[in-house]
Chain A
Amino acid sequence: MAEVEPHDHNGPQAPKGHDHSGKCDEALAELYVFLDGELTEQKRAAIGEHLDDCSPCLEVYDFEAELRQVIKHHCTDQVPDSLRGRVAKQLAALELDGPGPTAGSDASS
């Protein structure tokens, strides 16, 4: 495999072991855009076809997709009950204080 060249596109370069060189580079260049669901239907299908033929690329795609799930899954937090309570109270207070829809007061800025 050729050494990684400086590139100005945003995608990764194929690691060692990928045989299809040009197609692998292209598939990996679009990895994130593919996983983000931002490719055109056409491009997505083309990459899908390559992944059917190229298990090294498929492995990378699977790994990155799984990693995305891992990150999302681990970044969840419990909302403190005290916060829920404070926000609910705050909104209730605003509802009481706020003028109704028929109020004629000028909008202040």
Chain B
Amino acid sequence: MSGAGLAVFARFARWRLRSPRLHPVPDTLATMADQATFADQAMPYMSSLYSAALRMTRKPADAEDLVQETYLRAYRGFGGFEQGTNLKAWLYRILTNTFINQYRAKKRRFDETELDESEDLYLYRRLGGLEAAAAGRSAEDELMDWFTDSEVKAAVEALPEGFRMAVLLADIEGFAYKEIAEILDIPIGTVMSRLHRGRKALQKNLYEFAVARGLTDRIDPAGTSGPEARPEPVVVGARERDDEPEPRPATAGPD
């Protein structure tokens, strides 16, 4: 392929990668130098991509397949990636598109207006400041120890998909609004709205899981309570899934 042809093709590849349906770009564009640098540059993101994939698919087997598919597409399209631009955002765009096209359960479109609005500062009003003492949280209790890994992950995974994607991209992966807007292909205003509402919903979920665990401690001081002693928490988003079992609070496993 001539230099000019290659340049045209590179532009084509970038356009295809931006379009909602992601098509693999032929390998011819990946030069040998690109192939060598791909491993160096892209592989270090695997653990964060895997975590994100877990939050999206909620199934480890699917998450692994999603990550593998993402790397395949990323590798094939790497010739179209502009060096010096945000590789992490580029990879997450591929991850998200692959998830949407292949793994998302077939269900009605995410409609934010259907969800009840939970309060602002939901957790702060219950666990922060003066309320903390009433909740049994002593001065020594670090907020970090208040929730287990399993509970936080379950609280995120219970969120409706639209909220979940925004929250994980912002709060877990640290992307800027503009980057989230590009990754999800939505306006920045929608990003901000989903973040605000998603965070409120997440706080409500966290609280429900914490309460479920806390109540068990009070009901059974011997500490031998099993799942049957634990009331089912009402998590935000549970209603949306009509083709999957209700999310359950993960039993506190090894963290």
Contact = CB atoms under 8 A, between A and B. Distances in A.
Interface of A: 10-13, 15, 28, 32-33, 36-38, 59-60, 63-64, 66-80, 82-84, 86-88, 90-91, 94-95, 97-101, 103-105, 107-109
A37 B170 CA distance: 11
A69 B174 CA distance: 11
A92 B107 CA distance: 37
Given A98-B30, A103-B28, A107-B26, A75 B124 contact: no
Interface of B: 1, 9, 23, 26-32, 35, 38-39, 43, 46-47, 50-51, 54-55, 60, 64, 67-68, 71-72, 75-76, 120-121, 123-125, 128-129, 143-144, 146-149, 151-153, 156, 168, 170-172, 174, 176-177, 192-193, 195-196, 199, 202-203
Nearest to A9: B196
Contact of B75 (A66, A79, A94): A94
A99 B28 contact: yes
Contact of A74 (B39, B54, B149): B149
Contacts of B55: 75
A84 B192 CA distance: 34
Which of A63, A68, A88, A99 is most buried by chain B, counting CB atoms within 10 A of its CB?
A63
A91 B35 CA distance: 9
A94 B38 CA distance: 12
B143 to A, nearest CB: 5
Nearest to A62: B128
A78 B9 CA distance: 38
B143 A74 contact: no
Contact of B124 (A37, A60, A97, A107): A60
A19 to B, nearest CB: 15
B123 A67 contact: yes
Given A10-B196, A91-B75, A69 B68 contact: no
B120 A12 contact: yes
Most chain B CB within a 10 A radius of its CB, from A36, A86, A97: A36
B58 to A, nearest CB: 12
Nearest to A63: B128
B124 A87 contact: no
Contacts of B46: 79, 83-84, 87
A75 to B, nearest CB: 5
B126 to A, nearest CB: 11
Given A60-B124, A107-B26, A77 B171 contact: no
Nearest to A77: B51
A73 B144 contact: yes
Contacts of B29: 107
B231 to A, nearest CB: 22
Given A38-B177, A109-B23, 18 more contacts: A28-B120, A32-B196, A33-B192, A36-B195, A59-B128, A68-B171, A70-B146, A70-B152, A74-B149, A77-B47, A77-B54, A82-B64, A84-B46, A94-B76, A98-B30, A99-B27, A100-B32, A107-B9
